[in-house]
Structure formats: structure tokens, C-alpha cells
Amino acid sequence: MYREQTHAKCIETHLKRKGSGIAGLGFGRKKTLSPLQMDGLRPLSNHPKAIDAVYFSGASEEGCYLVGAAARRPQGVVDGYLHIRIPGVGLLRSPKLPDTTLKIDTDAGDDEDQFGAEGLLFTPLEPMRRWGIRYHGPMKLDEKTVQVDLQGEWISDLAYFDFDTDLRGKQYWMEVKVLESPELLIAADWEARVVLRLVAFTCNRLKGWGVAEWQYRNPDGRRFLQLAVTVLALGDAVFAQIAWNGNNWALGCDFRGNDLSNAQIRGEDCGGRCAATQGCTHFTWTTWNGGTCWMKQGQASQSDAFATGDYSMVCGVIGQSAPSGKAAGKTTRYWDCCKP
């Protein structure tokens, strides 16, 4: 499991308090000796756009992931959301998305100052090491709404990044390739955002995959583009690679577009069905609707496939040496990581 924690408040307090105390320092090790003071609720300034935020993400190689955040704002407002992906079930999303505005309700038992509201709550348990994650309420699942009760812990034993002392003037070369793009558009006269794009990236020759966010702004007629990549997996050891077998099929992969037809059949029968279907040159099998074979048309090779990290999926190409019968291995619908 790769875990990452990013504190937006580290950057903001560094910028807002530059020159106070020890010159040019924020709330890192050189300014604050206690981890308790570094990690937890901080008083908001009087500025109407003051913010104190925490962000959490975690993922497994099997395709499970959780992404959540809570940004405290003035007047009891919290900008928060939660995404949970469970293979074989789908992507659970906060019920108000694309709206992320939550309101603290002290009459319902909320504290005046907390990271979360409306059923979502992040609580520091051990500074820089453990946070409690709690959610109780409805979440979106495709076109329906389901009731979710989540109580767990986010745990990390990784060294944390101190912006005061660890930031260096090193240059980074970044290449980002979009794998999947479920669009979530938030638009106004001056802003539009597209979030939650599953991407593969290479950073200084190190491969990984994660979720990218593009943000376009046009305040006062000015335009700029911001790209942020949340790392879910990093390094060749955990990067989702496609392991092809001799029959031109593999687990945990997919092809983009070019759908020809589909059929509700078993995964081990998908390759044979594609080979017997006129015009079908490649295929993908998923657990959707009890098991669906997506037959695809057009020229395709193994290099056109992309890794999904979801090893219930099967993809393959129909070549000259393709077998006429079954052309896919056994798959399972769930993994141990996600079972109750």
C-alpha cells in the first residue's frame, strides 16, 4: 500500500507568515519542534479566504483506492469530499458532487472546529502518523445512491516532507498520459475544473500512476493552467505493468474505444467469442453486469493496451495464431483487500 499525505496549510502558512518569527520559515521542524503543533487544527486568520486543509490518499496494486480531503473555511464552511473505489463494486462518491461545500452543524453534534462536516470527519490520532477517517451517510454509486458507514484509520510510517528544509532547487521532468477520464466539470464565468483523471506518468524516468487535476482560471481576463498529480503508486515495483501470455491476452488491462458489440458471458469465453465475431480484432472483459465481453474493432496490438490495475479485467488481441476456442484465463470478481 502506497500512502501519501499533503497538507495545503503548510504552503499557505509559509506564504502568509513569511518574515514572522524566524525569517522565511513556516511551521516546519526549524520553526516548530513539536509534531503535535505541525499536524492538526490551526486557527484560521481573519481573511475571508483563509484555509486550513488536510488531504489523504491511499491505494493498493489490486485496484482499491481512497481519496478524501477537508478544507476548513470561515463561518463553519468545509470544502470536503470522499472517493472510495472497490473493485467489483465501483466508485463511491460524495453525494453532493460536483458541489464540495459542507456546513458544520453544532446542533447535530459537530465541533465548531473540525476537519469535516455532514457525515465526513478526519481526526488526528497520532501527529504525522495516524488519522481517523469517518463517514456515515449516502454516497453516489453510478446513477444510484447507497448508504455507507465507514470507520477506519489512515496510517503512514513514511518520512514526511518539510517545505522549510526539504524543498530543493532540483528540476523535474514530468510526462503525464491520461488513461481514463470520467469528467467532473465545475464551471462559472471565471473558472472551470476537470478532476479525477486516472493518469500514468514518468517523473525523472520513474514510472507511476495516479489522479491528475487540471484547473483553468480566468480572473480579471487572465488565463493560466494548473496541473496537480496525486501519486497513488510510484516506482517500477508497483507500477501496473501488463504481463502478456502466449495467447495474446493479459489481466488488468483495457483498450480505448472502438467498441463493436458486447455480450454477457464468462471471462474465459470472451476471446473465443471475439474470434468468432466478424470484425472483432481485440476485446476487453469486465465484471460489469455479471460479466461483460466488450468486443472491439479496428487495428490493435498489445502496445495499444493500457494497464488499469484492476485484475478482474481481461484484455486481448486476435492475431493470426489466436486460438479458436477459449482465449482468456480465470478471473475473480473481488480481492482479499476489499472483502469485509
DSSP string, 233-249: EESTTTS------TTSE
Going along 12-107, which residue ranges are E strands? Answer: 52-59, 65-72, 77-86, 90-93, 101-103
Quote the pLDDT of residue 198: 65
In the chain, the percentage of residues whose pLDDT exceeds 90 is 26
Quick one: 126 and 216 in the same domain? no
Question: Is the residue at 244 inside a domain?
Answer: no
Residue 73 clears pLDDT 60, i.e. is over it: yes
Quick one: 306 and 270 in the same domain? yes
Question: Is the residue at 28 inside a domain?
Answer: yes
Quote the pLDDT of residue 168: 54
User: In the structure, what pLDDT confidence band is assigned to residue 118 with cuts at 50, 70 and 90?
Assistant: very high
304 and 315 Cβ atoms separated by less than 8 Å: no
Quick one: 14 and 51 in the same domain? yes
Quote the pLDDT of residue 57: 85
Quick one: 315 and 286 in the same domain? yes
100 and 83 Cβ atoms separated by less than 8 Å: no
232-283: pLDDT as tens digits:
554 443 344 677 876 688 888 888 888 899 999 998 899 999 999 999 999 9
Residue 137 clears pLDDT 90, i.e. is over it: yes
221 and 281 Cβ atoms separated by less than 8 Å: no
User: In the structure, what pLDDT confidence band is assigned to residue 196 with cuts at 50, 70 and 90?
Assistant: low
- Residues 115-139 have a mean pLDDT of 92
Quick one: 102 and 186 in the same domain? no
* CB-based burial, 58-72: b 16+ in 10 Å, e otherwise: bbbbbbbbbbbbbbb
DSSP conformational letter for 221: G
Question: Is the residue at 10 inside a domain?
Answer: yes
> What residue numbers bound the domain in which 203 lies?
171-239
Quote the pLDDT of residue 17: 31
